[in-house]
Structure formats: structure tokens, C-alpha cells
Amino acid sequence: MGRIFEVRKATMFARWDRMAKQFTRIGKEIAIAVKAGGPDPNTNPALRRCFQNAKAVNMPKDRVEAAIKRAQGKDMENYEEILYEGYGPHGVAILVETATDNHVRTVANVKAIFNKGNGTLGNSGSVSFQFKKMGTFKLKPEGLSADDLELELIDAGLEELGEGTGENGEEVLVIRCAFNDFGNMQKALEDKGITPISAEVEWIPQNTVELSEEQAQDVLKLVDKIEQDEDVQKVFHNLQ
């Protein structure tokens, strides 16, 4: 078992700005999950996943409960999930996941950020073919045998298992499966009594681009600007 390749850049925000952004992101995920499957986590796997991710970033319980109440309100915004694709400086492929109640505003903002950062926003399908959509589960390694897990989770769709890093730099076990097997893997872990630290859907690059430190900073500055937009949920890229 080796160290698994992690692709989503840790945001460059100051700590409190970063925390606020994470809470907003998860709040939108909760709203989408409640709208789709109801407010009961016992019958809504997507909402259970949101709870895990909220806990991973220390989102207060009252904020989680408030997000659920807002999602049940008649005046709650209907968020649309849209994936934008483009290239940053030096040919780095970038995927931008958004949750928006105004796609006209969102595409204008994302396009402007790409342009100012010497990037180009592309058409649907122009970049995503270079990535694989996968479920990623991070687990506390204590009390777990990676070798045993690998054997036990194959039938649930396990494709990768390795070491990784949590939100606070701690060592974690990272499990990946195909996107279509996300529900199977979530149930398999629950049946084994394992509660993930986090459970995310990520776009994993099939190939990466190696740049000089100066060139990489050009890309990361653009990624940082994109992440700060209020409609952006996650950003993925193929920078090594």
C-alpha cells in the first residue's frame, strides 16, 4: 500500500475565510440532498454523506440543522449543479463544480476569472475526458487493516486504497471507487460499522502535467481565485 495521489488543491484562503467557504459549500450540499431525498438521514444516504463532511470541517451542529430547515422552506433557492471545464496557464486542465441559483451569473463570473488568470473556459466535454469521476472516502486508520479492507471491499467496487492526508494534515486511509459504485461503497462501510471522516465525489486526472515552481504558482493563483467565487463548490486540476 502506497501513498495515494491526491488532486484537489488545499485552498489558499486564510483560515477563517477557508472555513466560511467550506461551511457554505456543505450548506448547499445539504440543501440539494434534502430537496432530493428528504430531511431524514436514515433514509437519505446523500444527507448522511453531508453530515460526515460537515463533521470533517468542524461545522457547528446548529449550522447543519439550520441548513436543513432552510432547505425545507418554501422560499429556499433551487440550486443547479453545473460543471465548467477549461484550461489554465501552461495547458493545465481545470474542472469547476458549481451549485448555483443563477447560471447566467455563474458562467459570467467563472469565465471572467479564467480570462484574467490567462486561462480559457471551454465547452462541455472539452476537458472532463481527461479525468475519471470517482468516489473518495477518507477513514481514520486506527484499528483498521488496509490489507483486510482491500479484500473485503472489492465486491463494493474498490479501485484504489492508499495513504493520504486529512483536512488538518493527519494521516488517513483513502478509498476510491467508480462514481457508479459510490452508494455500494458507502453501504459496505456502514455495514462494517466504519464511519468515514469524509465522503466526496472527485474528478481524478488520468495524466498529470509537471511544471516549474513559477509556472505552478500561475496555475494555483487561478485555482485560488476560482475557489473564492460564491457559486463554486470544488475545483480539480491535473497539475502534478
Residue 120 has pLDDT above 50, yes or no: yes
pTM of the shown model = 0.89
Give domain status of residue 92, yes or no: yes
20 and 119 fall within a common domain:
no
Average pLDDT, the chain: 91
Give domain status of residue 223, yes or no: yes
- HSE-CB of 34 using CA atoms within 13 angstroms: 24
Q: Domain with 34 in it: what CATH number?
A: 1.10.10.200
Could you list the residue range(s) of the whole structural domain that residue 136 is in? 130-205
- Would you say 53 and 27 are in contact if contact means Cβ atoms under 8 Å apart? no
Which tens digits make up the pLDDT trace of 52-90?
Answer: 999 988 999 999 999 999 998 877 778 999 999 999 999
**76: how many CB neighbours lie within 10 A of its CB?**
15
Residue 11 has pLDDT above 50, yes or no: no
Dihedral sign, CA of 98, 240, 183, 190?
negative
Contacts of 99 (CB under 8 A, 6+ apart): 25, 28, 29, 32, 79, 80, 81, 231, 233
137 and 197 fall within a common domain:
yes
Give domain status of residue 7, yes or no: no
Which tens digits make up the pLDDT trace of 182-207?
Answer: 999 999 999 999 999 999 999 999 99
- Tell me which of 72, 92, 110 is where a domain ends: 72
182 and 135 fall within a common domain:
yes
151 and 170 fall within a common domain:
yes
Give domain status of residue 96, yes or no: yes
Give domain status of residue 215, yes or no: yes
